[in-house]
Structure 1
């Protein structure tokens, strides 16, 4: 519509139509199972001003993701702190955090594609260990069951929640999230936990999230700003 393409996501849990502008500018229309085309088109027509506003905001805050090289002194963030890379020749894990330095095996660093893969694997492992300790308190605060959690690449989102029949479902967090300060990682966790009760991002959703994090709007703005400047895996000589 209006020269724009919309990805349509159909959910049996959803009762109302919703729209999401992803980090890459993709527009996702979220619909209930039984939603005719005319209703969807009318919803999009009524949402034109909102779409224009969100895309304009995105244009003003375009991604500026850094490119990294695997050399001594290069900096990488973990939970809001910067750590300098130290290339070592040790019979240990390919990547580990020790004595205030992010240590990487020299043989690994000599192969950028492998170094990228091993560093992302470290973020996934460290992030999963950290998030498991935070999940239960937030689930208790929001009065929702604690879901299973994974850390992986979830594309253009910071996190997702997928319900499942007969259990609590699964939350997936993007590995890059764990470069953020802890209060923003907590925001992402709470954001996904809220979807256990409410699908979509309507007024009921934000009311629930605001009860858990009264300053959630400020945290969202901070996430939008810092998120566009996170390292997303770009390395020298590779997109």
Structure 2
């Protein structure tokens, strides 16, 4: 569902939450998360009352994304994994499209020389997905009982502008780009992205991760750089 105020386009998502929340997504879009019982007119009033904050946040988003790093697929380029940058080396004789050996990413040279950048990107994406299923799965298993949730399934895949999502059935999905962030930030994403953000939920989050606000701010400032 979509609504519009002067110069502000926003999407509305309703769920079994208790308050109206406005967030700026990774792609710069404005999302209003509202309780099921809140009608369109009430949503518009909330958006109107927070126009200054929305304009300010969108300006910050533009500034942060102006520093996005555009990486090239050539020897010596740095690619992120778990918060650290590792150099790329193009390999001549290698069966797998991408491997990680001796502190370097080894990318099959023919993927680059063919000019098919999409294939080279897919090699990194597949690598992060494979590693993410294991590592993120372990972190979900660790944190879920601490914050009182019971996920039904876990997936790592392309999620567009979302870092993670939770379906009504409790299935968690995480963006493969999460694997480019430091482990502390991955933990924040794991803890934060659940369907029902009640006061009780945040109380539990504060207990197991009292510095979650700092991690949230790190992700806001550095998220645009987590890309290939």
Q: Does 1:14 align with 2:13?
A: no
Q: 1:187 to 1:8 in 2, by over 3 A?
A: same
- TM-score of the two chains, using structure 2 as the length reference: 0.87
Q: Does 1:189 align with 2:190?
A: yes
Q: 1:184 to 1:63 in 2, by over 3 A?
A: farther
Deviations 1:52-84 (A, max 9, x none): 342343244334222222222111010012211
Q: Which runs of 5+ in 2 are unaligned?
A: none
For residue 178 of structure 1, report the CA deviation from its aligned partner: 0.9
- TM-score of the two chains, using structure 1 as the length reference: 0.83
Aligned counterpart in structure 1 of residue 162 of structure 2, from 154, 157, 162: 157
Partner residue, 2:133? 128
SS in 1 for 2:65: coil
Greater relative contact order, per chain length (Cα 8 Å cut-off, separation 6+): 1
Cα distance in 1, alignment partners of residues 122 and 82 from structure 2: 19
Deviations 1:18-68 (A, max 9, x none): 222112321112233343232222222222343234234324433422222
SS in 2 for 1:84: strand
Contact map agreement 2:151 2:172 (CA 8 A) in 1: no
Aligned positions of 1:1-239 closer than 5 A:
1-11=5-15, 13-110=16-113, 111-164=116-169, 169-192=170-193, 195-198=194-197, 206-231=202-227, 233=228
Q: Report how many residues are paired.
A: 222
SS in 2 for 1:25: coil
Backbone CA RMSD of aligned residues: 2.1
Cα distance in 2, alignment partners of residues 41 and 197 from structure 1: 23
SS in 1 for 2:8: coil
Cα distance in 1, alignment partners of residues 66 and 143 from structure 2: 29
Partner residue, 1:237? none
